[in-house]
């Protein structure tokens, strides 16, 4: 049997051909001719879908709807009426009907409504699987070809699209195939970065838009022309942006959606400082020797973003009124939302929102995220839940209310690490799990991307014979001492600093007023 249907209509005898049609399709139909019987039948039986005539003697369709929904809130109810009066439609829709049909209805209309409500998941699943199967072959051909930086960004956007589409359906077979394809893509992308990154920094004309040139190329043109807010959300991956996008679309129109490239290491110390300074790390160190903090220095490494931004805006000739705010905890977010009126007077406002810190209640450890977000889908879901209930949501709405432009980006993404890679180094080796910077390091050269001369990658030179090494895909560095403890502790957590699609390919979004 396809499904069990209850149909209530005071002219139910005239609908006998419709009922026979549905029974011929394999559905079981119980028919009644008044609202009271519909409520009683609904209470006594389990129906997959209920059709209610709006205009019945005694208990009306709307009254019956209210009583049925009170007892069986999750059963889809379709309202059928001769009337096209707006207030009846609004009342029915407000009562959470599944569909609204105007008489006279034909059997195919009824069948379509049934399929839309009962079979939609199955039909969407079949179509989604079929569409991805076709795309799978095309993506495979792209991966086997020679792609440039922009084509890699486009391919990553397609992988994210299919990841989100396949996540919505119950059949997980295709999702496993996508995960294998994404793993292959990450392997090839790591090779692509290794082969091209140093050349890009040396002036290669095929270089993509890198994070340290975003201010000059893509943000500065707006500043001074209209009120502009620049929101830098720490660790915001492109897939996380895509699940947040429907919320932002309530308040803004998307004028531009780009994927740009972070720099190595894909860590806040390097990438976010480069973004605000408009310079690569070694250039920042030369120009601001007292402000740049090296790996060996104690204390925070991102304490001078405002000074770097100030110098950058002056170089760009932006003599405007601007503000900079860094939000690292819930109270700071609430204060900024409460004091938003002060921001309205500025030409440009820069807001850094420490997303991971907020998720983990300002703890530096990732244990809470590990528990709440066991996989990528859960991590995205947590992102949406966090944003919806955060002061940042209030701030975004206030930006929309004053008709300002909003630019959203990040410093780097983050990747779930699963595969440990052993490394040995000096006692003061930096603690990041995705890259190491220092000297006298011992590792398997095949498992890392090595930059032996940091100056080639515009990275600070530190000490004689110091080098940088990066892990790729889902790898993470572990010391041999207490190896099993750290493998268990850090495995399946979200980290950044190395080479992966998720860390390097980051969103750059320009939103305008609706």
Please check whether residues 330 and 385 belong to one and the same domain.
yes
Which residues sit opposite 90 in a β-bridge? none
- Does 359 map to a domain? yes
What's the CA gap between 317 and 327, in Å, rounded?
27
Confidence check: pLDDT of 86 > 90 = no
Please check whether residues 43 and 79 belong to one and the same domain.
yes
Q: Strand, coil or helix: what is 100?
A: strand
Judge if the upstream peptide bond of residue 265 is cis by omega within 30 degrees of 0. Answer: yes
State pTM to two decimals: 0.84
Total number of domains constituting the chain: 4
- Does 277 map to a domain? yes
Please check whether residues 253 and 216 belong to one and the same domain.
yes
Please check whether residues 396 and 335 belong to one and the same domain.
yes
Residue 323's nearest CA partner among 354, 353, 355, 351 is 351
Please check whether residues 283 and 359 belong to one and the same domain.
yes
Please check whether residues 272 and 188 belong to one and the same domain.
no
Domain boundary among 105, 134, 159: 105
- Does 113 map to a domain? no
- Does 82 map to a domain? yes
Please check whether residues 270 and 368 belong to one and the same domain.
yes
What's the CA gap between 59 and 63, in Å, rounded?
6
Confidence check: pLDDT of 362 > 50 = no
Please check whether residues 434 and 406 belong to one and the same domain.
no
pLDDT for the residue 114:
87
Please check whether residues 152 and 29 belong to one and the same domain.
no
What's the CA gap between 134 and 131, in Å, rounded?
5
- Does 111 map to a domain? no
Domain boundary among 51, 81, 105: 105
Please check whether residues 52 and 128 belong to one and the same domain.
no
How far, rounded to the nearest angstrom, does the alpha carbon of residue 312 sit from its chain's CA centroid?
29
Strands (E), 17-130: 27-32, 49-53, 77-81, 99-102
Q: CA dihedral in degrees (270, 273, 199, 208; nearest 10)?
A: 120
Residue 26's domain is classified under what CATH number? 3.40.50.2300
Tokens 């109270």 correspond to: 331
Give DSSP secondary structure letters for 392-455: HHHHHHHHHHTT-EEEEE-S---EE--EEEEEE--TT----SSEEEESS-EE-GGGSEEESSGG
- Does 206 map to a domain? no
pLDDT for the residue 271:
97
Please check whether residues 257 and 313 belong to one and the same domain.
yes
Each residue's pLDDT tens digit, 400-452: 999 999 999 999 999 999 999 999 988 888 889 999 998 889 999 999 999 99
Higher pLDDT, 303 or 219: 219
Domain span at residue 15 reads 3-105
Paired sense of beta strands 505-513 and 405-409, if any: antiparallel
| Average pLDDT value over all residues in the chain | 89
């Amino acid at each position: 049997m396809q499904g069990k249907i209850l149909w209530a209509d005071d002219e139910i005898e005239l609908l006998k051909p419709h009922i026979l049609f549905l029974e011929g399709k394999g559905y079981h139909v119980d028919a009644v001719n008044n609202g009271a019987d519909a409520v009683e039948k609904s209470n006594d039986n389990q129906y997959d879908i209920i059709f209610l005539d709006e205009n019945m003697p005694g208990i009306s369709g709307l009254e019956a709807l209210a009583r049925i929904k009170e007892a069986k809130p999750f059963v889809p109810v379709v309202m059928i009426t001769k009337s096209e009066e707006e207030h009846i439609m609004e009342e029915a829709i407000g009562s959470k009907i599944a569909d609204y049909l105007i008489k006279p209805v034909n059997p195919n209309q009824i069948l379509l409504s049934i399929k839309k409500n009962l079979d939609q998941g199955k039909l969407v699943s079949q179509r989604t699987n079929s569409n991805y199967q076709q795309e799978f072959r095309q993506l495979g051909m792209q991966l086997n070809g020679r792609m440039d930086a922009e084509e890699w960004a486009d391919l990553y956007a397609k992988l994210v699209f299919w990841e989100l589409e396949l996540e919505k359906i119950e059949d997980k077979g295709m999702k496993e195939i996508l995960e294998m394809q994404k793993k292959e893509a990450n392997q090839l992308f790591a090779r692509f970065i290794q082969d091209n990154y140093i050349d890009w920094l040396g002036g290669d004309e095929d270089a993509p838009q890198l994070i340290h040139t975003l201010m000059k190329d893509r943000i500065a043109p707006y500043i001074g022309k209209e009120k502009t807010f620049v929101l830098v959300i720490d660790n915001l991956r492109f897939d996380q942006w895509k699940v947040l996008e429907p919320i932002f679309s309530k308040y803004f129109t998307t004028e531009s959606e780009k994927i740009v490239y972070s720099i190595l290491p894909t860590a806040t110390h390097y990438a976010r400082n480069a973004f605000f300074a408009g310079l690569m790390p070694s250039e920042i160190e030369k120009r601001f020797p007292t402000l740049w903090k090296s790996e060996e220095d104690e204390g925070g490494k991102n304490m001078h973003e405002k000074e770097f931004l100030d110098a950058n805006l002056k170089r760009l000739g932006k003599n405007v009124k601007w503000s900079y705010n860094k939000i690292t905890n819930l109270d700071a977010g609430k204060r900024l939302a409460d004091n938003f009126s002060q921001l309205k007077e500025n030409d440009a406002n820069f807001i850094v929102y420490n997303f991971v810190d907020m998720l983990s209640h300002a703890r530096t450890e990732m244990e809470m995220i590990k528990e709440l977000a066991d996989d990528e889908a859960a991590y995205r879901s947590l992102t949406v839940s966090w944003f919806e209930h955060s002061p940042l949501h209030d701030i975004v709405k206030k930006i929309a209310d004053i008709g300002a432009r909003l630019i959203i980006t990040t410093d780097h993404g983050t990747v779930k690490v699963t595969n440990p890679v052993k490394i040995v180094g000096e006692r003061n080796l930096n603690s990041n799990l995705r890259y190491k910077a220092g000297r006298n390091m011992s590792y398997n050269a095949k498992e890392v991307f090595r930059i032996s001369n940091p100056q080639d990658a515009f990275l600070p030179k530190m000490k004689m014979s110091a080098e940088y090494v990066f892990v790729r895909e889902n790898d993470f560095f572990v010391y041999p001492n207490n190896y099993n403890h750290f493998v268990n502790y850090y495995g399946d957590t979200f980290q950044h600093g190395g080479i992966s699609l998720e860390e390097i390919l980051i969103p750059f979004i320009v939103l305008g007023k609706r």
